Amino acid sequence: MRRAGPQPCFAVLFACLLAGSLAGCGGCGRKPATDDALTFENLPDTAGLSVGRPILEAFDAYRMDSGALRVRGRADLPDGTRLQVAVKRPGEKVSVAMVQLTVQDRQFDSPPMVGEAGPLPVANYRFEITVHFTPDWQSAEVLRATGDGRALRGPGITRSRMGDAALYLVEELKR
């Protein structure tokens, strides 16, 4: 009786590997059927956040006799709330001036702002007012008084991707 040579063993091994690889890939490139249908991330509805009385009740930019630009306003925010005003030329991303100020008795008034070469020329400017309600921006007292900003409602109130509250408003003025 004659024994089978190595060829039949290789043929059986090759057939097993081929069958396993076809089963592993779902059968020649076809994706196996799953219950994973394409879905979109459901984000909380923030449309209601901007409904309410304005938090920024007044805002103005004005010039000093020296030509330096200042901003002032009134905000329905607790004493000590820190806000930032960035001054930009319309359509540009880079700020030509920026200042951080503190609300006191619902009022704020900035120190003089000048550009690299002195007073900013009279022109149209975009004033971006930003208030973040996070521990690195606000004191514990401000966060407590505003419920970490989440208790605030009105024009400009929004949420970050992390769920943190913020106030963001833009005023375009010629000054």
161 burial (CB, 10 Å; 0-12 / 13-18 / 19+) is exposed
Which residue do the tokens 């009105």 mark? 154
* Sequential pLDDT tens for the chain (175 residues): 555 555 555 555 555 555 555 555 554 555 555 566 666 555 555 668 988 999 999 999 999 999 999 999 999 999 999 999 999 999 999 999 999 999 999 999 999 999 889 999 999 999 999 999 999 999 999 999 999 999 999 999 999 888 899 999 999 999 9
* Structure confidence at residue 116 (pLDDT): 87
- The Cα–Cα gap between 63 and 82 comes to 22
- Give the chain as a DSSP string: -PPP-HHHHHHHHHHHHHHHHHHHTTSTTPPPP-S-------PPP-GGGG-SS-SEEEEEEEE-TTS-EEEEEEESS-TT-EEEEEEE-TT--SEEEEEEEE-BTTEEEPPPB-BTTBSPPS-EEEEEEEEE-STTTS-HHHHHHTTTTTT--STTEEE-TT--EEEEEEEEEE-
- pLDDT, position 23: 55
Count the neighbouring beta carbons within 10 Å of the beta carbon of residue 143: 19
What are the backbone dihedrals phi and psi of residue 91, each rounded to the nearest 5 degrees, phi first? 85, -5
What is the model's pLDDT at position 34?
57
Global confidence as pTM = 0.72
